[in-house]
């Protein structure tokens, strides 16, 4: 198998008067796992379908590797797609489902049967070849659908909500399995999801989409630690947003901001002196500290599994969230708590 890059140049898509995807340039590297992440209706599935050839572009050009595939039918694009519902043939055996694409290519029964058995071994379903899809669990059907797509040895695998039909526990397990499979086969994977945990776990890079546009593109760590906008900060993880005014700064990427909620704080980012700004605070950034200069009233404490999430109200009415490690003392609801914010842990937002 040989991974291929995917390039979108000036690509857009409209359905009548509805603009689903605005003019978009996007470079997807050969061999990477890129996830299009965003809420329903943001255009992520439309982009995937345009890459697959299932939707024509309204404007622009799509390259798979060096080849312009904009006008090519799906079977001429060196891509393979796995749909959310897996689209397995209910009357065909697991082996025949996996080998179906090879049959359409005219391979002999012996060759496609051997290839299917090889893939059954790779997805840990040895001995399942004669079963029907109805006899499999959701996770097993997902692996069969993956094998059916990968047996064609495409340069690019497209995944439309690949884990959306599974329960939460199995979904977390298969996130790791899908990441492992990506490393094993070395192909380009492009996935669509609205699940932030899924995107963070599986991806080399994430394209966060909003209203038909890519709002931010980067590694999971980059986007989580340095979201550019409030939408990205809230969509990829939890955060509180506070307002302030820049009172000092330099070229080092740290500015001093005066806020009503937490007083004077140092935030990462750049902004003009005197500018009114918005700051994002991750729940793990704020620290309970009775010696802290800022104070807020505790309104709730929620057990989240690995932490206790406190909800607080600052003196100016701004809502805040703070994660306490399990076992740490939990202040009583209705009491005031001292807060400290390490320098640079607040994130300056551009919008």
- 49 vs 152: CA distance, rounded Å: 18
Phi, psi of 197 (to 5 degrees): -65, -40
- 343 vs 323: CA distance, rounded Å: 18
Whether the model clears a pTM of 0.85, i.e. scores above it, the answer is yes
Percent of the chain at pLDDT > 70 equals 97
- 144 vs 139: CA distance, rounded Å: 9
Phi, psi of 296 (to 5 degrees): -150, 155
Least confident stretch, 7-21, 152-166, 285-299, 311-325: 152-166
Task: For residue range 202-234, list pLDDT tens digits in order.
Answer: 999 999 999 999 999 999 999 999 999 999 999
- Sorted by sequence, the CB contacts under 8 Å of residue 232 that are 6+ apart come out as 208, 215, 216, 223
Kindly tell me the burial class for residue 336, based on how many C-beta atoms sit within 10 Å of its own C-beta (0-12, 13-18, 19 or more): middle
Residue 166 has pLDDT above 70, yes or no: no
Task: For residue range 287-297, list pLDDT tens digits in order.
Answer: 998 887 789 99
Closest CA to 11 of 212, 269, 168, 208: 212
By three-state DSSP, how is residue 342 classified?
A: coil
- 212 vs 28: CA distance, rounded Å: 18
- CA pseudo-torsion sign 68, 220, 160, 93: positive
Q: Are strands 240-249 and 254-259 parallel, antiparallel or unpaired?
A: antiparallel
């Amino acid at each position: 198998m040989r991974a291929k890059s995917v390039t979108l140049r000036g690509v857009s898509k409209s359905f009548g008067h509805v603009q689903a995807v605005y003019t978009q340039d996007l470079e997807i590297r050969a061999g990477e796992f890129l996830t299009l992440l965003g809420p329903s209706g943001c255009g992520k599935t439309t982009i995937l379908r345009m890459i697959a050839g299932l939707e024509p572009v309204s404007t622009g050009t799509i390259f798979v590797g060096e080849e312009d595939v904009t006008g090519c039918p799906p079977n001429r694009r060196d891509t393979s797609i796995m749909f959310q519902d897996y689209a397995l043939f209910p009357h065909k055996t697991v082996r025949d489902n996996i080998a179906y694409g090879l049959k359409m290519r005219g391979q002999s029964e012996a060759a496609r049967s051997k290839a299917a058995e090889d893939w059954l071994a790779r997805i840990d379903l040895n001995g399942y070849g004669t079963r029907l899809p109805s006899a499999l669990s959701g996770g097993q059907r997902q692996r069969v659908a993956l094998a059916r797509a990968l047996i064609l040895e495409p340069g690019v695998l497209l995944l439309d909500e690949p884990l959306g039909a599974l329960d939460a526990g199995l979904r977390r397990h298969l996130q790791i399995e899908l990441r492992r499979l990506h490393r094993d086969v070395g192909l380009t994977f492009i996935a669509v999801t609205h699940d932030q945990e899924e995107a963070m776990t599986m991806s080399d890079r994430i394209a966060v989409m909003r209203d038909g546009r890519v709002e931010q593109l980067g590694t999971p760590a980059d986007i989580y630690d340095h979201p550019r906008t409030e939408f990205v900060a809230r969509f990829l993880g939890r955060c509180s947003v506070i307002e302030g005014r820049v009172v000092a700064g330099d070229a080092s990427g740290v500015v001093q901001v005066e806020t009503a909620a937490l007083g004077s704080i140092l935030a990462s980012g750049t902004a003009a002196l005197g500018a009114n700004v918005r700051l994002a605070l991750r729940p793990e950034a704020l620290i309970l500290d009775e010696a802290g200069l800022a104070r807020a009233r505790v309104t709730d404490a929620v057990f989240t599994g690995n932490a206790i999430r406190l909800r607080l109200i600052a003196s100016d009415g701004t809502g805040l969230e703070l994660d306490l490690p399990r076992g740490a003392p939990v202040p009583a609801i209705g009491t005031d708590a001292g807060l400290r914010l390490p320098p640079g842990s607040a994130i300056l937002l551009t919008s």
